[in-house]
A and B are shown apart, each in its own frame.
Chain A
């Protein structure tokens, strides 16, 4: 049986007239078990088989190998399907438009079917997502997850097709997205992964794809809690400024909340394995006089409408400036990490638009933020795009020769945060 714990980090003291309560709520799950333990699980693997996957042919070969490895990781009893995506979505396995139960027999059949996959046609990702939504709709699995692999940008379907497909798919399944090579568009895959609560990453070299698919499917199979939600109560007259997941990656959840009571909103968080995630919650509360104590938010982790963990975000007004001027280290850290991700994305956009001056300033600022917060992975990725002149002042020079895949890696991984080092 999964167990959740929630811990709050905040400075609850507000100065006279202050209204904004900020807190980081750290939620951890243990004993999650395996996918399928709390209701059935379903997996769909979507492989881009458009014509470009043959250029070079190592890509389609790597995709076939990666799909085989992923199928090998799916536990028996799980519903599954493999879809080949080109101008339309086409079933690889099972042969009909449906899902199969994983057994020794279906696994062997699926592996054979994968070997027959050939490439040709356009990249109509919207139609692939639509097909996955329909397939998941045919089974009553509590936990639904897909892997989507592409190597190109969307073409061969009307603009807006993806957005429409995501509207229909939202909340029906989670989707991890991978781009292979350098010809796909980070923005498009990030749109999918954000809407469908999955990850997005680049696999620059075809030979790395197998290991990535293996890890992704292992992670999916370790999620024994099918669906959990963050339930947030805030007092009358207050305003939720934002709700963000801030670790392990930055995801803005503010607009995903569903009103479930006059003062309660619930934010989907998807499936959970044994892991911990941090959320930054900011609430603007009605001002109260010095000496007052008020609850700014009740933050609960809810599974099947049952509260698994709860923490309280408080607001205490005091005239003691020693207390009110402190910023909680966790809140400060994650505010910085969100700014880091934002600065990188804006910097790369400026660079792409040919505005080197803005790009230099922003990426310099990012280099300083990454350094100051000890985010070594992001520092490493940044150093492939800029030469750092002085990290203390955030002075950098754009590199003259940059691998496009390095820029894409920096972009896709900009939202990965480091955790604050907590003293024991």
Chain B
């Protein structure tokens, strides 16, 4: 990967891509806060949201003190790492949120898109809570995978097969880069016995072809406006193995090992090769990538399709607005885990 000059949105000092905090002023850094590369289209960096939320309390309007708490009501100013949005183009957007119950947001996402709707890259990683500092591993992994994919060359072979084979190779490379980034976080922490680790799902929408790769149980769905919605992959989890062994989904979900993942990224990963899948899109709809913080409350593709359809009927057209609604839905169900939802809109007529 080529070096991209990144700077802190608060003090403008240079920072490294996988830094969680600015070395100079201590500001927390996020994918939006640092001007992450947003793809070949050279999108302008997102507005420095971090600086804005630090100054005024979201609850009472009081001044937020240097220690990050409101000087009037004491409310903790939301850290940009706890909740952020990305909108690399008007047809691609996502929201990454701490949820309600967890103390930290260990989910991460990184999105890139061309404004002409010809290419979108979506990456979602979910840090493994039982391993400390997995939030850092997830963010580093998602960012590097996205920039690897966004910076790679476009397919030279035409046709669906050529496109799929090109992006399959690119996603496999990006996943290996993401794994190296997660291992790098472990190394920077002195190789803890429980190394930080995360799931991985990346999708490239190139024209009408979706190619995706994943490790773990962060998911990708195709939710057409009309017709049957589909889950594009199967989790690498003991839950999947139980179902494949003959259990019903309901029986498997009740098993305590249901969420135990069998493939992940990080220093203790035994297999960080992504499983690959692809699909050619034929009708308008939504490509959704999400963490289990969302699908725990709406696992069937048809349920998610319904939720998205409700938003569209309420007049929401922007992917980021729908992602936001999905996050609010999950928080309304209890927000027991971190929640990430990233969407890309596909419409054949607009190509």
- Residues on A close to B: CB < 8 A? 233-238, 263, 285-286, 288, 290-296, 298, 310, 312, 315-316, 318-320
Contacts and interface: CB of A to CB of B under 8 A. Distances in A.
Given A291-B335, A298-B67, A285 B101 contact: no
Contacts of A285: 74
Contact of A291 (B71, B72, B100): B100
Give me the 3 closest cross-chain CB pairs, A-B, nearest first. A235-B74, A295-B69, A295-B74
Contacts of B259: none
A197 B74 CA distance: 31
B75 interface: yes
A306 to B, nearest CB: 16
A294 B75 contact: yes
Interface in B42-63: 60
B101 A320 contact: yes
Contacts of A291: 98-101, 335
Which residue, B69, B72, B75, B98, has most C-beta atoms of chain A within 10 A? B69
10 contacts: A233-B71, A236-B60, A236-B73, A285-B74, A286-B73, A291-B101, A294-B69, A295-B76, A315-B74, A318-B103
A408 B31 CA distance: 67
Interface of B: 60, 65, 67, 69-76, 98-101, 103, 335
A295 B70 contact: yes
A312 B69 contact: yes
B100 A294 contact: no
Contacts of B73: 235-237, 286, 294
B101 A236 contact: no
Nearest to B103: A316
Task: Determine which residue in B71, B73, B98, B100 has the highest number of CB atoms from chain A within 10 A of its CB, and name it.
Answer: B73
A235 B59 CA distance: 13
A312 B67 contact: yes
Nearest to B82: A293
A296 B75 CA distance: 9
A44 B5 CA distance: 66
Nearest to B79: A293
Contacts, number: 52
Contacts of B335: 291
Contacts of A310: 67
Given A236-B60, A236-B73, A295-B76, A290 B67 contact: no
A263 B101 contact: no
Q: Pick from A236, A286, A316, A320 the residue with the most CB of B within 10 Å.
A: A236
Contacts of A235: 70, 72-74
Contacts of A294: 69, 73-76
A255 B70 CA distance: 26
Given A290-B100, A295-B75, A320-B101, 7 more contacts: A234-B74, A293-B75, A295-B74, A295-B76, A298-B69, A312-B69, A316-B103
A293 B101 contact: no
A318 B99 CA distance: 12
A319 B101 CA distance: 7
Q: Output the residue of A263, A295, A310 with the most chain B CB within 10 A.
A: A295
B287 to A, nearest CB: 30
A263 B75 CA distance: 14
Central interface residue in B60, B75, B98, B99, by most chain A CB within 10 Å: B75
Contacts of A320: 101
B74 to A, nearest CB: 3
Nearest to A317: B100
A286 B72 CA distance: 12
Contacts of B76: 292-295
A316 B98 CA distance: 14
A173 B235 CA distance: 72
A312 B72 CA distance: 15
B80 to A, nearest CB: 15
B288 to A, nearest CB: 25
Given A236-B60, A312-B69, A296 B74 contact: yes
A157 B130 CA distance: 71
A263 B69 contact: no
Contacts of B98: 291
Contacts of A290: 100-101
Contacts of A292: 75-76
Nearest to A262: B72
Nearest to B76: A293
A235 B60 CA distance: 11
Contacts of B70: 235, 295
A318 B60 contact: no
Nearest to B335: A291
